Amino acid sequence: MQSGSVDIQKLNERIAENSTFINHIHEELSKVIVGQRYMIDRLLIGLLTDGHVLLEGVPGLAKTLTVSSLAKVIDTGFQRIQFTPDLLPADLMGTLIYNQKVGDFTVKKGPVFSNIILADEINRSPAKVQSALLECMQDRQVTIGDTSFKLDDPFLVLATQNPVEQEGTYPLPEAQVDRFMLKLNVGYPTDKEELEIMRRMARTGKKAELKAVTTPDEIKNARETINDIYMDEKVEQYIIDLIFATRDPQKYRLSELTQLISFGASPRASINLNLASRAHAFMQHRGYVTPDDVREIAMDVLRHRIILTYEAEAEEVNTEDIIKKILNTVHVP
C-alpha cells in the first residue's frame, strides 16, 4: 500500500518490529501495578515524545509506584521530590558549597539531575520553585553559579496535583501548565481491580521485583522512528480544526461555546497533539496515524489548555464538557 511516496506496508513492518518493547514494559509493570493502563500508556507517550506529564488524582492511586516502576523497567535514574511550602529552588537544582580544604566553591547538584523526576504535589511549593522546575523542563539545563549543566537524556518530569486539598497550595499559572504536554485525570480502579490490589498489597514481606526490559537508547531510537510515522494531510487538518474550534467556536457551528471559552488552546496544543497521536499509533504497532489516534489523546492534550469564562463556572461547565462537544461536532475525515 502506497501513500504518496510512503510505503505504508514497509513502514508498518518496521514500526511493529521497533515497538515490541512496549508490550514488554506492560508485561513487566503488571507484576506490581494492577490496572491503570490509561496512566501507563500516557506516561509512555510522554517518554516517547520527550514531553512532560501532569497527573491529577486523589492520594493512593499508585501514581508514585507507577512512575518509580516505569523508571526501573527502562533502566533509568529516578528521583522523587516532595514539594512543600518551605522548598527552595536550590533544594531542587543544587547549589555552590564552600570547600574549606581547597578554599573554593564546589557544585553540589540537586535531585533534578536524573532521568525521571516525580514532582509530588507540585502545587504545594511557591512560585519560585515551580518556575525553577519549569525552566529545567523547557531548557533541559540548570545554571548553578556561573556554570550551566545539561540535564540527562531522557529527562521527563511527572508532576502530581491533589485536587481535593486547596488550602495551603499555590496553583500553577495557566502559562506554566501549558508547558506540560499532557494532563491526566487519574481515576479510581474498578471493583475487580481493587480486589486484586487488596489481595496483593494487604500482606507484609517481599514485593515483586522488577527487571529492566528496555534501555534509554531504545527509547531514543523509538523517538526517531516516531518521526517517520505517516500522517495524512486530512488528519493534520483535523488537528488544526480541533484546535481552532477552541479559539473560534462559531466557525465550527459551536456558537454556544463562545461565551464559555475565555482563551482557546495555544500552538503548543497542535504540536503536542500531532506528536502524541504519532506516539499513540506507534504503541498500537502501526506506521500511520488515524483520526481515532487524535481523538483518543485529544482530551489529555487539551484538558489544561482551555481557559473558561466566569459564565462557564457559573453554569458548572468544565473543560472536559467543552472538549467532548468539540470532538462530537468537528467533522472527522
pLDDT digits (tens, 9 = 90+) for 49-62: 988 899 887 777 77
Q: What is the dihedral of CA 38, 43, 47, 50, to 10 degrees?
A: 100
The string of pLDDT tens digits covering residues 251-262 is: 888 888 888 888
Residue of 277, 309, 272, 320 whose CA lies nearest to 295: 277
Q: Which residue has the cell 481491580?
A: 193
CB 223 within 8 A of CB 48: yes
In total, the chain counts a number of residues equal to 333
For the segment 277-291, what is each residue's pLDDT rounded down to a tens digit? 999 999 998 889 999
What's the pLDDT score for residue 163?
66
- Give the β-pairing of 94-99 and 307-308: unpaired
Cβ atoms of 132 and 89 closer than 8 Å: yes
What DSSP assignment string belongs to 120-169?
ETGGGS-HHHHHHHHHHHHHSEEEETTEEEEPPSS-EEEEEE-SS--TT-
pLDDT at 15: 86
* Averaged pLDDT, 61-80: 84
Is residue 266 packed enough to be buried (19+ CB in 10 Å), middle (13-18) or exposed (0-12)? middle
Among 85, 73, 97, smallest CA distance to 23 is for 73
Q: Say how far apart CA 26 and CA 194 lie, in whole Å.
A: 19
Predicted confidence at residue 233, as pLDDT, reads: 92
If pLDDT is split at 50, 70 and 90, which confidence band does 301 have? very high
DSSP string, 36-66: -HHHHHHHHHHHHHT--EEEE--TTSSHHHH
Placement of cell 499559572 in the chain = 173
Rounded mean pLDDT, 16-28: 87
Question: What does the pLDDT read at residue 2?
Answer: 44
What value does the mean pLDDT of the chain take? Answer: 84
pLDDT at 324: 92
For residues 279 and 231, is the Cβ–Cβ distance under 8 A?
no
Q: Residue with C-alpha cell 533534578?
A: 112
Q: What is the pLDDT of residues 197-210, one digit of tens each?
A: 787 777 666 667 78
The C-alpha cell of 191 is what?
471493583
Contact 116, 77 (CB under 8 A): yes
Residues 302-333 as b/e (b if ≥16 CB within 10 A, e otherwise) read bbbbbebeeebeeeebebeebbebbbeebeee
All structural domains of the chain: 20-218 (3.40.50.300), 229-329 (1.10.8.80)
> Can you tell me the distance from the alpha carbon of 149 to that of 155, in angstroms, rounded to the nearest whole number?
13
* Single-letter amino acid, residue 230: Y
Q: What letter represents residue 275's amino acid?
A: L
Phi, psi of 107 (to 5 degrees): -90, 130
Q: How many CB atoms lie within 10 A of CB 57?
A: 19
pLDDT at 240 over 90: yes
CA distance 159 to 178: 13
In the prediction, which pLDDT does 1 show?
A: 44
The whole-angstrom separation of Cα 90 and Cα 85 is 14
What percentage of the chain carries pLDDT values higher than 70? 93
% the chain with pLDDT above 90: 20
Q: How many CA atoms lie within 13 A of 240 on its CB side?
A: 6
pLDDT at 38 over 50: yes
CA 219-223-227 angle, to 5 degrees, is 160
User: What's the pTM value of the predicted model, to 2 decimals?
Assistant: 0.86
Most confident of 75-79, 152-156, 278-282: 278-282
